Chain A
Amino acid sequence: MDLQPVIAPPGFRTGGDTSTSTEEYFLNMGPQHPSTHGVLRLVLKLDGESIIEVVPHLGYIHRGLEKVAENQTYVQNIHLSDRVDYLSSHIYNMAYCLTVENALGIGVPERAEYIRVIVCELQRIQSHLLWWGVMGMDLGAITCFLYGFKEREIITDIFEELCGARLTMNYFRPGGSFADVPDSFIPQVKSLIEKMKVALDEYNTLLTGNIIFQKRTKGVGVLTAEDAIQYGCSGPVLRGSGVSYDVRKDDTYSIYDQFDFDVPLGTKGDCFDRYVIRMEEMAQSLKILEQAVAKFPTGPYRSKTSASIKLQPGTYYSQVETGRGLLGIYIVSKGGTKPYRIKYRSPSMSNLHALNHMAQGHKIADLIPIVATMDIVIPDIDR
């Protein structure tokens, strides 16, 4: 039988097969695959079960969001920023509003700052809860998924009461938020803090301490600090490699400088480090929430802005820390009510770029914790 020579799919850098004993082959994962968190497509070059090279293919959810944004006004664009990274929609809203506020040169009242911090930290916990559940499910512990979602629903309830939406919030506006918080907001957050403290212990019992889980994640997908910076990784991926950069600490925005919290750091840069950092970040977010709830002020929730927002010509940039890492929003204005160009500097794209580096030499099964601990959101990459 004539064997057709295998034509390598595009994008591979490693050389051809040199050994005679084994034959390399290519495996396509995705775009519809349970552990690629959406529509990521990976093409793997394999030797048996060992990965030689990974080539991600993107664009399966590229919606042209930045192009759509050019024809919408500054306020209309808030709702599009929800849909970039739907797991951090409040934080994206906030980053967008910060950029516009920065351009207008206005600030927000103190109560609005507190609302923003509380809501964003809730969102961070919510995003991490989903990540924790999905990570457990990807590794085969399906029960984690259900447990993570149990607490996530409580936070979703708070958001629903806050702004009427469960996922795509569209809550913040330049100058504050579109409505004040309901009276039940602070008691709900307080009760959530208590519940989450118990839940975090439960999660650690269920997954963190498990010997199989530790074997699957320790020493897998190591990323050194130099490489992490080279690839432009951010968030827990960067901090897992031991680089202390958290926008909340190092480039404080809103009132994060008034709170006492730590930035957890990893030492080895493997999947377990990234996992522990995310777990610890939830605890730190709770710490911030506790402080914020204790001194939640009264007063106005929104500052005065003109009815139609017009930006002076120029370029404006601000950055925040989402659950996934550094988000920068860059607005180019040529005057008028619509932006000339908006660019989202999404954390997931740079993080995913390091995948090939992290996965080389590991087994197919190791790809799962590596992708899971990156916590990528595909629309955040594709936009």
Chain B
Amino acid sequence: MQNNIDSSLYPTTNGVGDFVRSMLSAQSAELVNNVLAIIAILMVVALSPVVLIWLERKVAAHFQARLGPMRVGWHGMLQPMADGIKLIFKEVLKPEGADSFIFFLAPILPATASFLVLTVIPFDHHLQVTDLPAGVLYVIAVSGLGVMGVLLAGWSSNNKYSLLGAMRSGAQMISYEISLAFLMLLIVLLSGTASLREIVFSQQGTVMDWWIFKFPVFGFIAFVLFLISSTAELNRGPFDIAEAESELTGGFSTEYSGISFAMFFLAEFVNMFVAAALTTTFFLGGFLSPQFGIAPLDQVLNMVPGFIWFFLKSYVVIFIFMWFRWTFPRPRVDQLMDLEWKILLPLNLLIMITGGIFVGMGWV
């Protein structure tokens, strides 16, 4: 098994890779290959918010018995483009008394953090910028950067609403990061590796070998906890207490306009995609096609490329995120903290211990 994985690691063996290698020396070929992978991921990053914004508005609209954007493009497909262009051409205002440098730095940070996380996510057998041996640690470390942007934005805006929103968001994201880290470490414990690629390969086999099912009952609980923690980490409804439109008007982004606001908007959706991608990688077998142990069906499913499976699974998770948002009311800030520290964290520890026992006894 181990050898099998090694042989499929970089440098890639796809058509483009072969062509590049035949033209260049091994080292520069790898460089070019990585640049191509980065470009591919940038494309994903640039396109996914566009798709997601449209999807969010349509999903919300249909949940709410209406149509949503209809006038630009087929069923409003171009709506995110219109929003984006409009925001780019809109005046950028800086409130009096705001700290200029931090005020304009802050919107860049959350998006950057999520871009960085994308580098280690395996989209397909060969579609990954780099596979770090300690990929999980990297993800935990880098995603923590996102909260910096929110905190700085709230602090530098010179607005009480922003500050309140930022403080709420800081408390919330730091708390839920613990939960998320524990759940990621659980998967590391179960699969015995911290490389995201190998975590995916540890779920090879049928659907029942995905960590959501392979680790009986607790795997599913862990999956649900991961979804809840991710939603909180994303600052998305119902846990959008940092933005809390009805309480704090716009929370940390109250004073942002034009392109600065667009960056926050973009980061929100890239973040959502990242969270969904991580959920897929950790619990839903990543790019592996679902296998049901029925030979003819499995062969058909195997013919579909891995990245399609990856995106399908991610979008299912994204749909669940949207479902959350458009159904539940928002908890209060102290209730949210209660949920994390009094319910989720003890539950996580319990699952960790159970996971340790399972691994120790060789049951998984």
Asked if B331 contacts A212 (CB within 8 A), the reply is: yes
Judged by DSSP, the binding face of B is loop
Asked if B331 contacts A216 (CB within 8 A), the reply is: yes
Asked if A25 contacts B160 (CB within 8 A), the reply is: yes
A36 vs chain B, min Cβ distance (A): 9
| Contact residues in B for A212 (Cβ distance below 8 Å) | 238, 328-331, 335
Checking B64, B160, B330 against A140 with a beta-carbon cut-off of 8 angstroms, the contacting residue is: B330
Distance in angstroms between the alpha carbons of A215 and B240 in the assembled complex: 17
Checking A147, A216, A365 against B65 with a beta-carbon cut-off of 8 angstroms, the contacting residue is: A147
Q: Does A252 contact B (CB under 8 A)?
A: no
A-contacting 9-mer, from B149-157, B245-253, B309-317: B245-253
Assuming the A-B contacts A143-B327, A210-B329, A216-B332, are A365 and B64 also in contact, with contact meaning beta carbons closer than 8 angstroms in the complex? no
Beyond A216-B329, A216-B330, A367-B247, 13 additional contacts (C-beta under 8 Å) are A33-B249, A35-B247, A138-B246, A139-B330, A140-B246, A141-B238, A141-B330, A207-B329, A212-B328, A212-B329, A363-B332, A364-B248, A365-B241
Asked if A368 contacts B63 (CB within 8 A), the reply is: no
Distance in angstroms between the alpha carbons of A137 and B329 in the assembled complex: 8
Count how many chain B residues have C-beta atoms less than 8 Å from C-beta atoms of the other chain: 28
Q: Does A142 contact B (CB under 8 A)?
A: yes
Q: Does B136 contact A (CB under 8 A)?
A: no
Distance in angstroms between the alpha carbons of A350 and B266 in the assembled complex: 45
Q: Does B261 contact A (CB under 8 A)?
A: no
The chain A residue with its CB closest to the CB of B243 is A140
| Contact residues in B for A137 (Cβ distance below 8 Å) | 246
| Contact residues in B for A197 (Cβ distance below 8 Å) | none
CB proximity to A under 8 Å, residues B167-197: none
14 contacts between A and B (CB under 8 A): A25-B160, A27-B161, A33-B249, A34-B246, A35-B247, A141-B329, A143-B64, A143-B327, A146-B64, A212-B335, A213-B329, A215-B332, A365-B241, A366-B332
| Contact residues in A for B64 (Cβ distance below 8 Å) | 142-143, 146-147
Interface residue ranges, B against A (CB under 8 Å)? 60, 63-66, 160-161, 164, 237-238, 240-241, 244-249, 326-335
CB proximity to B under 8 Å, residues A180-238: 206-207, 210, 212-213, 215-216
Asked if A141 contacts B240 (CB within 8 A), the reply is: no
Q: Does A150 contact B (CB under 8 A)?
A: yes
Task: Give the interface centre of A34, A365, A368 by most chain B CB atoms within 10 Å.
Answer: A365
CB proximity to B under 8 Å, residues A104-156: 136-143, 146-147, 150
Q: Does A49 contact B (CB under 8 A)?
A: yes
Asked if A141 contacts B164 (CB within 8 A), the reply is: no
Assuming the A-B contacts A34-B246, A143-B64, are A136 and B329 also in contact, with contact meaning beta carbons closer than 8 angstroms in the complex? yes
A363 vs chain B, min Cβ distance (A): 6
Distance in angstroms between the alpha carbons of A240 and B249 in the assembled complex: 29
Asked if A49 contacts B326 (CB within 8 A), the reply is: no
| Contact residues in B for A34 (Cβ distance below 8 Å) | 245-246, 249
Distance in angstroms between the alpha carbons of A86 and B353 in the assembled complex: 60
B272 vs chain A, min Cβ distance (A): 17
CB proximity to B under 8 Å, residues A14-68: 25, 27, 33-35, 49
